[in-house]
Amino acid sequence: MMDDQYFGLSVDRLPLDHHVDHPILNRDLEPLAPAGQRIDRDVVQRLRLDGNDQVFVHLEDRKRWGLSLVFAKTPSGRPAIMPTRKTFSADSMANVAPELVEHVQEILASPDPGATDDRREEARYSIAAPVPVQELTDHMTPLGRPYLAVLRDVSSKGLSIYHVKDVVVRHFLVEVEMKGETQQLLAETVRCRRTGKFHEVGGKFVAKLS
């Protein structure tokens, strides 16, 4: 069973009086209902009683039922709809305001620059450097023009950036230098908060674009 062929679905959205051509799975890819199962109220109730608010349904079944893939994710968290790789042009992006860079440098120079963040187990690398960002629509298409934000820290799982405005989209593309190569990554917005006259945005990496 391929993880990238199964996408999350609320139990409440399972269509009654339809059948599945593929097994319904839980997050650990264990079967909850076999292929050929007819979905009725008893099946839905059993799934709920077993503590399954969300199940994972095969892509072919979702399409046959006419369900949208917007917001759908695999058990590993990869979105069903992926953006295309963006070519960032320095000429199309305004320069970062010097006071924004200084703001991040001051945070990094403080005694405990990570004091306001949740404690993380993975190593994080701190650097005040401009990075290109492209906000995305729910359909993973570009929203507005790309811009330069200032990176505060980055790890293998996510990053923290600062910008002059808040980020209200669910996903964005960002290009960072990691392990000696430039990587373009799809990030999910996990927080956005105001710090002074700037905004800190936390992103969790969900996919690397080739």
pLDDT classification of 82: cutoffs 50, 70, 90: very high
Mean pLDDT of the chain: 90
∠ Cα 154 169 15 (to 5°) = 115
Q: Which residues contact 9 (CB under 8 A, 6 or more apart)?
A: 54, 55, 56, 57, 62, 67, 72
pLDDT classification of 86: cutoffs 50, 70, 90: very high
Task: Return the pLDDT at 92.
Answer: 73
What one-character DSSP code corresponds to residue 5? G
pTM equals 0.81
Question: What's the pLDDT tens digit per position in 134-146?
Answer: 999 999 999 999 9
Residue 113 CA to residue 125 CA, distance in Å, equals: 12
Task: Return the pLDDT at 116.
Answer: 47
Task: Return the pLDDT at 115.
Answer: 44
Question: What's the pLDDT tens digit per position in 5-34?
Answer: 999 999 999 999 999 999 999 999 999 999
Question: What's the pLDDT tens digit per position in 88-119?
Answer: 987 778 788 889 999 999 989 886 655 445 44
Task: Return the pLDDT at 202.
Answer: 96
Q: Which residue has the higher pLDDT, 123 or 165?
A: 165
Say if CB 88 and CB 42 are below 8 A apart: no
Looking at residues 163-188, what average pLDDT do you find?
92
What one-character DSSP code corresponds to residue 68? -
The segment with the largest mean pLDDT, out of 40-54, 123-137, 172-186, is: 40-54
Residue carrying structure tokens 């700037």: 198
Looking at residues 33-49, what average pLDDT do you find?
96
